[in-house]
């Protein structure tokens, strides 16, 4: 029973274009969502978060959108840079409890 | 460096041996989490602490696994009688409180021969 899904294992984008990473969840109790980036041999690094009372949060080149009715969130990276190439995980939690992570999407930004 | 520190970075051991990992969280972070990650998967929750209290344990955490956080500072994760299936990356994370971003260490990679 995978509560957080990232259905695209990989994504390739040209440098300077927009990267859109998607995440779907099944547990309607989730009220806090995060995106992490992970480089090889390192732990995940926090990127951006959003609580369920909002539908959008922006931080520089990163924007997260939340559609509660569809149980869907997405991460937009604009413009994409080669240094953004990494594995991206979305994660969700309910009522301040433990976080559930998706399986990740590998983003490759091509020069 | 004031990030989350995990030791050792790598551990190779024979099946049946006991292993212990250590995590030093960011100072004054009340919450400490342990995760396990295998190839191609996201981190899987194992357990977490609020200060020294262990508040939740995943059903993934069999009786062979035990975690402690004495005095609410560093934490240890022990695996007894290791099995082949225990081979994974063990990640520790800390956060100031609930509903705050977690900061991860670089993990301990466990290999069971």
**Which of A9, A23, A44, A57 is best to mutate for the B interface (most B CBs within 10 A)?**
A44
pLDDT at A1 (0 to 100): 66
Tokens of B6: 């995990």
pLDDT at B9 (0 to 100): 96
Q: Which residue is closest to A6 within chain B, CA to CA? A: B42
pLDDT at A95 (0 to 100): 86
Digitized pLDDT (tens) for each residue of chain B, 113 residues in all: 579 999 999 999 999 999 999 999 999 899 999 999 999 899 999 999 999 999 989 987 889 999 999 988 999 999 999 999 999 999 999 999 888 899 999 999 999 99
**Which of B33, B43, B50 is best to mutate for the A interface (most A CBs within 10 A)?**
B43
Residue with tokens 């994504």: A11
User: CB–CB of B91/B105 below 8 Å?
Assistant: yes
Mean pLDDT of chain A: 95
pLDDT tens digits, one per residue of B47-61: 999 999 999 899 878
User: CB–CB of B17/B110 below 8 Å?
Assistant: no
pLDDT at B1 (0 to 100): 53
Look at residue A2 and tell me whether its pLDDT is greater than 60: yes
pLDDT at B43 (0 to 100): 95
pLDDT tens digits, one per residue of A10-50: 999 999 999 999 999 999 999 999 999 999 989 999 999 99
Going from the C-alpha of B42 to that of each of A90, A101, B33, the distances in angstroms are: 9, 6, 15
Do β-strands A72-77 and B65-68 pair in parallel, antiparallel, or remain unpaired?
unpaired
């Amino acid at each position: 029973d995978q509560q957080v899904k990232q259905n695209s294992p990989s994504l390739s984008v040209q440098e300077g274009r927009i990267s859109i990473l998607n995440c779907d969840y099944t547990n309607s109790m989730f009220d806090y969502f995060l995106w992490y980036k992970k480089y090889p041999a390192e732990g995940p690094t926090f990127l951006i978060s959003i609580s369920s009372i909002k539908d959008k949060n922006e931080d520089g080149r990163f924007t997260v959108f939340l559609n509660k009715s569809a149980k869907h969130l997405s991460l937009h990276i604009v413009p994409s840079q080669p240094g953004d190439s990494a594995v991206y995980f979305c994660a969700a939690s309910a009522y301040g409890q433990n976080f559930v992570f998706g399986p990740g999407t590998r983003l490759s930004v091509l020069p | 460096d004031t990030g989350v520190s995990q030791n050792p970075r790598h551990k190779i051991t024979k099946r049946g041996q006991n292993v212990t990992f250590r995590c030093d969280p960011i100072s004054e972070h009340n919450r400490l989490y342990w995760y396990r990650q295998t190839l191609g998967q996201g981190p899987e929750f194992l357990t977490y602490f609020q200060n020294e209290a262990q508040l939740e344990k995943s059903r993934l955490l069999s009786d062979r696994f035990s975690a402690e956080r004495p005095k609410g500072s560093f934490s240890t994760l022990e695996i007894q009688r290791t099995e082949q299936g225990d081979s994974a990356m063990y990640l520790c994370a800390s956060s100031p409180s609930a509903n705050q971003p977690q900061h991860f260490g670089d993990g301990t990679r466990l290999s069971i021969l």
